[in-house]
Amino acid sequence: MPEPGNAQRAELQARRSTLRQRYLQPPSQRRATTGRGIHHAALICSDPERTIQFYQELLGFPLIELVENRDYPGSSHFFFDVGNSTLLGFFDFPGLGLAPGVEALGTVQHIAISVTAERHAELRAKLDAAGIRYGGPDQGIEESMYFQDPDGIQIELLRDELMYFGGEWLDGRGRTSASE
């Protein structure tokens, strides 16, 4: 994919700066969120068993429910526990002949799941043993591993804590180590 040239990157940086000045308020001035968190993200898979094997058996996210989809008879709807009372849900839609997705406007670019540093190291070894290629450490981003599930959904496993990004706490705790 072609990247923006220097002139366009400067324009984009200026646009981000304008947006930050206009909308990003210091934590002490932000309104409290009206949400309680993401209940679940709902994705589409081609094969429930293969998806269960990947997320539960390889990554260690327990399958906690498997039912028929209320909106499409014959379709499965199932959930994995990814921690902090958050679910990753999947549907299959047998008979629709869905094609693999592509990265496009309005689609999910990736799902980032926080894991402990110890679990991050264990999962890196499991991905290596399973021959699953990942990026992140090869680009100097040691805290993240980006890879695809069996249907091409990009997953990021990162060892940063929730609300920690780019070397700082996004909830106003300041610029400190995530382990503090």
Tell me what pLDDT residue 179 has: 54
* Angstrom distance (rounded) from CA 10 to CA 4: 9
pLDDT in tens, the chain (180 residues): 688 899 999 999 999 999 999 999 988 899 999 999 999 999 999 999 999 999 999 999 999 999 999 999 999 999 999 999 999 999 999 999 999 888 889 889 999 999 999 999 999 999 999 999 999 999 989 999 999 999 999 999 999 999 998 888 998 887 666 655
Longest Cα–Cα distance of the chain, Å, equals 52
* Angstrom distance (rounded) from CA 110 to CA 153: 7
* Angstrom distance (rounded) from CA 86 to CA 77: 16
In order of their start, the domains of the chain are 36-95 (3.10.180.10), 109-180 (3.10.180.10)
Tell me what pLDDT residue 1 has: 64
CA 72 to chain centre: 26
Q: Cβ(166)–Cβ(72) under 8 Å?
A: no
Tell me what pLDDT residue 61 has: 98
Tell me what pLDDT residue 176 has: 63
* Angstrom distance (rounded) from CA 54 to CA 147: 12
What CA–CA distances, in Å, run from 114 to 64, 75, 133, 164? 19, 29, 19, 10
Q: Give the dihedral of Cα atoms 107, 94, 77, 150; nearest 10 deg.
A: -60
CA 106 to chain centre: 15
Question: In sequence order, what E strands does the chain have?
Answer: 40-44, 63-68, 76-81, 87-91, 111-114, 144-148, 154-158, 164-165, 168-169
pTM equals 0.87
Tell me what pLDDT residue 79 has: 98
